[in-house]
Structure 1
Amino acid sequence: MKIFVNLFCALGLFALALTAHAEDHQQKQSIVFGVHSKTAPLEWRNNGVDQGFNLELMDRIGQLTGKRIVIRRKSFQQLLTDVHNRDSLIDVIAVVSPITIDRTLSQSDPIYATHAKAYTLQGKSFINGWADLVGKRVAIKKGAFVDVYISGKEQDFTRVDVDLYETGFQLLIKGEVDVVIAENFVARRLMPLYPSIRSSSDPLIYGAFNFVSNYKNAELMTQINDALRQLKLSGEYDRLVNKWFGTGREKVDLNSAQRRMLSLAIFVSLMSAIGMLLTGFISLSLRKRSKALKVELAQRKKAELAISNISKQFQSVLDGIPHGVTLYNQDAECLWSNDNNNDLLNNPLFHYIDGQSFDLNLALAEALQGQKSQTADMQINDQYWQLQLHPISDKQVVILLEEATEQHRLRQANDEASRLASLGELSAGVAHEINNPTGIIIHSVAFINDALRDLNEASDSYQRQNPFWTIAGMTPDSAMAELDLSSQSINEGAERISRIVNDLKHYARPTLSNDYQPTCLNEVVKVSLRLTANQTKILNVATDLLHPSPIVIGDAQQLHQVLINLIQNACHAIKLDADNYDNVEHINIKTAVEDNHICLIVSDKGAGMDRATLQRITEPFFTTRRSSGGTGLGLSVCSRIIKEHKADMQISSRLGQGTVIKIRFPLEY
């Protein structure tokens, strides 16, 4: 009996060991992905099926790494606790990190960009920045990327910690906080549920979604990053982004929609049943009255209901308009307003775009007197607005107020682009005019050179006859040598002017066709440096050109335009001082052949760019030098030209460490 007991115990221990080994093996072959969000299109559930961008991306990463993805749903605070616990079963979670601050845990490359803004009740003033939060009660989600961003920074507002952004919205409606700073995707889902809340600022914090792993999973994060980069290089990452975030494809929370539709259907059914009962009761009552009274009462009720519905719909439409709408009488008394920025009408800083001050009483009087609609462009600080006054009767005027800051900036950028185009045409004409006197100089210098050769013999003969003879205070030999040197200098200067003028004329000439020709890349570099010599003359510019020169198929004029823009941008990014003027290589231009591509590389030791600037660097009209005349069109045009040449542009930059731009052409020779 004792033998059987011992044998049974041994078999049990063996079975437990096999089970533990199997579970450990299964755990190594799977990734436990912690999920907390219910926000489409990131991670949500439809009819019990987990869906969303993060979930599908992690599923593809699991396929590439050969691991099974296991989904565990918990609260946000629980996931934060688990990911810091070495013994937790949670391997990876998806969180937002501020673009300027890294979390202490191991995290992946950025997955997708987002931002946080301020949200207030309707009618509250627009928040232009952190300074407008001074003295206010601000709701912050504990542990979220907003909390990470402001931690350790001086805060001039009263912070109110909440567990969820929705809790912050509820406190805002109750009046217990003044502002909620919330992440964009969550706020967009919540705002239809809280119509009295609106977005009240531009983005205050920029962040990016990252996968964050447990301390014990540093090696796993390396595998996730490798898979993520493979998806980006293959283009599958872009397809996922287009599927879940593409224009016209914004996802909705179907569970929430189905619940709302079910609630609405139940409500409609109940109302229908109540209506039927009420109709039957009224019918029994009305039968005792005359037919005429029955018809009259029915018509009155129908008319009142229609008027009430129209009134409610009209009020809802006006309240939902994002622009300011205000109704005034002839005494400048506000009869109705939707409270959207209408306080600007009485702001003393609000003025016409030409600088003339705005007087509400005078504007109302002029509109009523002329009985004509009026439109004016307005300005307050750095914001631009369009003001419309429409008289709707002899004693009332409706005022519409619409922000037009972006449209105003686009018009300015367009005007600047037109001026630059005109300057290009003018430069071509000036270059042509310069060629004429340059040709005369070259021709005259040639004649002087011939004359000097003949005068040398006469000078020697005359000097022997008159040993004390001088030319311009110098001995004849020295004077003739100086004249010969001066003639050569004049000739070289004229030829240099001629080369620059020809380069400028070719650069300014419009492209008439896309019939690209074999082009010497080294010659493109040399011409571009000659055209930018004035900007680069105080900098240390080095070149490392491959010999023989790489040949690309393209249009030399357009390639000049690209390289000139890159050189000018590098010059603007460099700030010289006494320490780095003589010993530092400021700009380096290199041609090379790498990985079956012909490469043109421009690097500088300038100020560099942050991630937010890098993401928008090729957008039309985006510039960091608008105050100094930048239009934001240079790199946008360069990007288009590079794509037309079947090439690609890679930009890497860090603040304080400079920028490297690599243009890769297909290797065709």
Structure 2
Amino acid sequence: MKILLLLVITLTFPAFAQDSIVLGVHSKTAPLEWRNNGVDQGFNIELMDRIGQLTNKRILVRRKSFQQLVQDVYNPNSDIDVIVVVSPVNMDRKLAQSDPIYATHAKAYTLQGKGLINSWADLIGKRVAIKKGAFVDVFLSDHLQNFDRVDVDLYETGFQLLIKNQVDVVIAESFVARRLLPLYPSVRSSSDALIYGAFNFVANESKTELMYQINEALRQLKLSGEYDRLVNKWFGTGREKVDLTSSEKRMFALAILVAIISAIGMIFTGLISASLRRHTKALDAELIQRRRIEAEISELSKQFQSVLDGIPNGVTIVNQDLQHLWSNDNNIHLLDSAAFYYIDNHAFVLKTAVLEVLSSQTPLIAEMRYQQQFWQLQIHPIAEKQVVILLEETTEQHRLRQANEEVSRLASLGELSAGIAHEINNPTGLIVHAVSLFTAALKDLTPAARHYQQQNPFWLIAGLTPDVAIEELQYSCGSIEEGAKRISRIVNDLKRYAMPHIADQYARVCLNDVVQVAQRLTANQTKVHQISMRLCQPSPIIKGDAQQLHQVLINLIQNACHACTEQHGEIIIETRIAGNTAILSIIDNGCGMSSATLKRITEPFFTTRRNEGGSGLGLSVCSKIIKEHQGEMQMQSSLGKGTQISLIFALEQHT
């Protein structure tokens, strides 16, 4: 298939009829050429008739098969001298050919619902029907394509194979395809023009003179405007004419249509222009809308980026090669620090963690440490080779958790202390009762022992003389009684620590009276120190339990005495009013406390005087009592400079 023939017209100049031109016709495509009631007609027929008139030659029409016509045009002795074929644009022929008669093109056709063909590349691997000898065939002879070619004798044969699913695509000339599409409704045009071509008169090289005459006549028709009239008559404004072979009446109707085609063209052009203007306005409005939306999206993107950058936590997206695809750069440096490790002290390697998350596609959530800080690390897979890394500091949460555990532990300790106190109280009471009996008995036995010693001078009690033995027994009873009372005091402190407060039993308490009572009860301990009393007048009044407040102040005074030396010890006790609060302060110039000790001073059983008999419950009980009174205990201390403890209460009123 070297040549696509939409119309084949042959001009013959036989030796016996030099003034005649025979037209051989192969195509049946309207409006180029066809036969109606035995009469050959169409654009090519009428054009050739006018060329015959200008060259003073009679036009004869002869129809042959496509293959026969191709053979005749190459045979200088055949009765076929000239044919009309389609030539691909920019492709020379070895035969003599005329100026272009009419432009055409070829494109792809597929079944309805199949994908569009946008270029030759879309045909790769498909079965494509090509008409043998057509101008598509000629074009492909110099343009190799990667598809499976199926040669057919007619375009209609290709359409039939397409319906039977024996080919995927048919490349056909547009005039032929338009005639065939109404006959095959399941076929559709699926591409723009793939090949452009033009109709030309083609003759054997021996007919060069004849081709010269045809060209001259064709140019004359174009210059006179008659060629344009024929084009408008048969093609209109670029649209293919309907097939007029059905009846003479339709032929007449089309002739009328050709007559008014110019007016219709102007109307059509005006409508198209108006439509284009409306479409242009719509496109402009759409463009404005798109620009506005793009600006909003850009602004939203900036806001989103600003939010991400403002997040205090670190957010980073990395791939499996640890390339940072995006990051807000907050604390990301920790990931590469050797001081950043798991809370169980295992080393952290970022690449190992990322690869594990990517391989398992399971998030990693771990508690981390960095110097004195605590962090939560999260690594989540978000793509096949990407993860998002989240870093959040949890130092405060960790400390709160520790504090909560400490509170729970202390609560459990309080409950345990209450039970221990109950168990210890019973044997302690028995000891105190028995010691009292032993002391009384020793007083009664002393005269009898002296009388018996006079009768038996060598009598010994536990290896001691009776006087020494009785004195030792009296001393031991005193020691036992003092130890039992000390045990009782510790037990009472434990019970007080574990005992819930009863706020509704509080009464009005004069703070100055509390100070004076405590000072009298501790006079024996404070007599070796310089005591200063700075009491506010009138005395502040608070709501509370006087006995509990006495206990607190006595404990604080005793602690101050323990912290001061006997020679230079100075203790100041003062009361004052500040706004709506009453403040009771105890200030000493003793040894003071370190910051570590100050943090733990109110913990139960914590004491710096363990070797001196301290139980570590005094300040714990004091702190509990102050909290029950809705008060606050503030402590300031420095090693070697002394300590100040201030008790702050809500002021009830002045006296």
TM range, smaller chain: 0.3 to 0.5
State TM-score, norm by structure 1: 0.44
